[in-house]
Chains A and B, each alone.
Chain A
Amino acid sequence: MLERALCALAIPPLGAVSPRRPLGRQPLAMLSLLWLAAVALGAVLAPYLAPTGPMATDPSRALLPPGPGIWLGTDFLGRDVLVRLLWGGRWTLWMGVEALALAVGLGLPLGLAAGGTGGLRDMVLMRLVDAWLAFPGLLLAMAVVAILGPGLSSVAVAVGLAAAAPYARVARATAREIRAQPYIDAARAVGASPWRVILRHILPNAAPALVAFAATQLGWVLLNGAALNFLGLGVPPGTPEWGAMLAEGRAYLRDAPWAALAPGFALTLTVLAANVLGDWLGQE
Chain B
Amino acid sequence: MRRLLILLLVAAALTTGCTPRPGGRIVYGLTLSPSGIDPHINASSELGIPLTSVYDTLVYQDPKTGEFVPGLAQKWEVSEDGKVYTFYLRRGVKFHDGTPFNAEAVRFNLERITSPDLASQKARFMLGPYERTEVVDEYTVRIVLKEPFAPLLDSLSQVYLAMASPTAVQKWGSEYQLHQVGTGPFLFVEYIPGDHLLLRRNPDYAWGPPVYGHKTAQLEEVEFRFFTDPATRSPALESGEADVMGEIPPQDAARLQGSKDFRIEAVAIPGVSLMLFMNTARPPLDDLRVRQALLFGTDRRAIISAVFRDTSPVACGPLAAVTFGYNPMVCEFYPYNPDQAAALLEQAGWKDTDGDGVRDQGGQPLALDFYLMGWGYMPEVGQLIADQWSRLGVRVNSQVVSYPEALEIAKEGRHHLMPFNLSGSDPDILRRFFHSQGGFNWSKVNDPEMDGWLGEAARLSDRNRRADLYSQVQMRVMESALIIPIRDYVNLNGVNNRVQGLRFDAQGWFPWLIDVTLAQ
Contacts and interface: CB of A to CB of B under 8 A. Distances in A.
Given A55-B386, A150-B400, A237 B305 contact: no
Interface stretch (B101-109, B113-121, B367-375, B502-510): B367-375
Interface in B38-80: none
Describe A's contact surface by its main secondary structure.
loop
Interface string A217-237: 000000000000001111111
B306 A76 contact: yes
B383 A237 contact: yes
Contact of A146 (B373, B379, B405): B405
B384 A151 contact: no
B387 interface: yes
B401 interface: yes
B33 interface: no
Interface in B154-204: none
B400 A232 contact: yes
Q: Name, among B384, B387, B401, the residue most crowded by chain A CB atoms within 10 Å (CB to CB).
A: B387
Interface stretch (A16-24, A96-104, A176-184, A247-255): A247-255
A194 interface: no
Interface in A232-277: 232-238, 248, 250-255
A62 B306 CA distance: 8
B247 to A, nearest CB: 13
Contacts of B446: none
Interface string B357-380: 000000000000000111100111
Contacts of A77: 306, 380, 383-384, 387
B432 interface: no
A57 B375 contact: no
B245 to A, nearest CB: 15
A238 B386 CA distance: 10
A56 interface: yes
A150 B401 contact: yes
B302 A59 contact: yes
Contacts of B375: 232
A13 interface: no
Contacts of B307: 76
A237 B306 contact: no
A118 interface: no
Interface residues of A, number: 27
Contacts of A234: 374, 400
Contacts of A146: 402, 405
B398 interface: yes
A252 B251 contact: yes
Contacts of A47: none
A234 B390 CA distance: 23
B398 A238 contact: yes
Given A62-B306, A76-B306, A250 B231 contact: yes
Contacts of B401: 149-150
B325 interface: no
Interface of A: 55-57, 59, 62, 76-78, 146, 149-151, 231-238, 248, 250-255
Interface of B: 230-231, 249, 251-252, 255, 302, 305-307, 372-375, 378-380, 382-384, 386-387, 390, 397-402, 405
Given A59-B306, A231-B374, 15 more contacts: A56-B387, A76-B307, A76-B380, A77-B306, A77-B380, A149-B401, A232-B373, A236-B398, A236-B399, A236-B400, A237-B372, A237-B379, A238-B379, A238-B383, A254-B255
6 contacts: A62-B306, A76-B251, A76-B307, A232-B402, A234-B400, A237-B372
